Chains A and B, each alone.
Chain A
Amino acid sequence: MSVPDLDPVIHAQARLRVVATLNALCEGDQIAFPGLKDLLGMTAGNLSVHLTKLEDAGYVEITKTHKGRTPVTYVALTRRGRLAFEEYTVAIRALLGGEQ
C-alpha cells in the first residue's frame, strides 16, 4: 500500500513511539533522557540516533543542563513536533477509514 502523505520522519516504528511518548507529556514539560529510555525500552545509543533525526526536523528540543555536577539531558516535543504528530494521526485515521 502506498502512503505518500505520511510524514517520513515520524513514519518509522521507533520514532513514532518516541513522538507518541513525548506527546503524552503535558505541554511545557520536559522528560529526562533516562526516563524516556525506560519508557521506550530502547538502548541509549538507539534513542540518541532517533532523537537527533527528530531534532534535525525541528520536532524535538533537547536541553543539556547540570544537576549539581552530573549532566542531565531533557527532551521535549516542540510545537512543530506536536503539530506533525497530530497531522500524522489524522492521516493514519483517514487511511484506516478509507480501508473499511
Chain B
Amino acid sequence: MDEEDLSPAEMMRLIEEQSAATARRLQPDPLLLYAPWGIAWMVGFGAFFLSYGLDGRPLAPISWQLALSILFGGQLLAGAFLFWTARSGGVQVRGESAQRGMMYGYSWFVGMMSMSLIMSHFAPLLPREQVGLLYASVSLLVVAVLYMAGGAVWREWPMFLIGVWVAVVNAVGAMLGPGWHSLLVSLLVGGGFFVTGIVLRRRG
C-alpha cells in the first residue's frame, strides 16, 4: 500500500469529492452559458421594441439600423464571451463528447447561414417592418430548435425546455406583429435566459 489505510467511509468520501470536482471542471458554468445571451437579447430586442412601438408609433427615436447594430453587437459579444470561457476553462478532452460538441457547433453555423440565404431571397418582396419580423422570428426558430436538439444530445432538460419556451414565445410574438414580438422576446426570452443561468448556477 502506498499510503496509510483509510476507512471505507473515508474512501467513499474521497470518491464522491473527486467525482464532483471532476464534473464541475468538465461542465461549463451555466451562468456563463445562458446569461450573456439573455442580456444581449433583452437589450437588442428591447431596442427594437422602442423603435417599433406597439401601435406603429416609435416609443424612442431609435432607427431600425441602430436597433439592429445593438442586437448584433450584443450577440457578437455574447458569442466571443462563450468562445473565451470555453477556451480558458476547458480541460483537454477528446473522443465522443468532443465530436458531439463539434457537430453541434457546426449545426449552429450551417443553420444560421442557410437561413440567411433563404431570407435574402424573400426580403426584397416584403414591406420593411415585415422583413425585420421575418428575420427575427425565423432566426429564433433556428435557436429554439437547436436548444431542443442540444437538450436531446446531452440529455439536459433545462436546455430542452428553454428551447420549447423560445419556440412558443417566438411564435406567439410573430402572430401579434413586430412591436409585440420584440417586447415579448426581450422580456420573456432574454429574461428567461438570464434567469435560467442564475437558477442553474444556484442549483449547481
Which residues from chain A sit less than 8 Å from chain B, CB to CB? 1, 3, 8, 11-17, 20-21, 23-32, 34-36, 38-40, 72, 74, 76, 89, 92-93, 95-96, 99
Contacts and interface: CB of A to CB of B under 8 A. Distances in A.
A12 B93 contact: no
Looking at B1, B18, B23, B25, the one whose CB has the most chain A CB atoms below 10 A away is B18
Interface string B1-30: 111011111011011001101110110000
A72 to B, nearest CB: 8
B124 interface: no
Contacts of B114: none
Contacts of B8: 1, 3, 92, 95-96, 99
B16 to A, nearest CB: 8
Contact of A13 (B2, B25, B91, B94): B2
23 contacts: A8-B1, A12-B3, A13-B3, A13-B6, A14-B3, A17-B14, A20-B19, A25-B26, A25-B93, A25-B95, A26-B97, A28-B97, A29-B93, A29-B96, A31-B92, A31-B93, A32-B94, A34-B92, A39-B22, A40-B18, A76-B95, A89-B15, A99-B8
B15 A16 contact: yes
Main SS class of interface, A: helix
B93 A16 contact: no
A21 B18 CA distance: 6
Interface residues of B, number: 27
B93 A30 contact: yes
Contacts of A3: 5, 8
B113 interface: no
Contacts of B98: 29
B91 A38 contact: yes
Interface of B: 1-3, 5-9, 11-12, 14-15, 18-19, 21-23, 25-26, 91-98
A1 B19 contact: no
A39 B25 CA distance: 8
A29 B11 contact: no
Nearest to B1: A12
Contacts of B18: 16-17, 20-21, 24, 40
Contacts of A72: 92
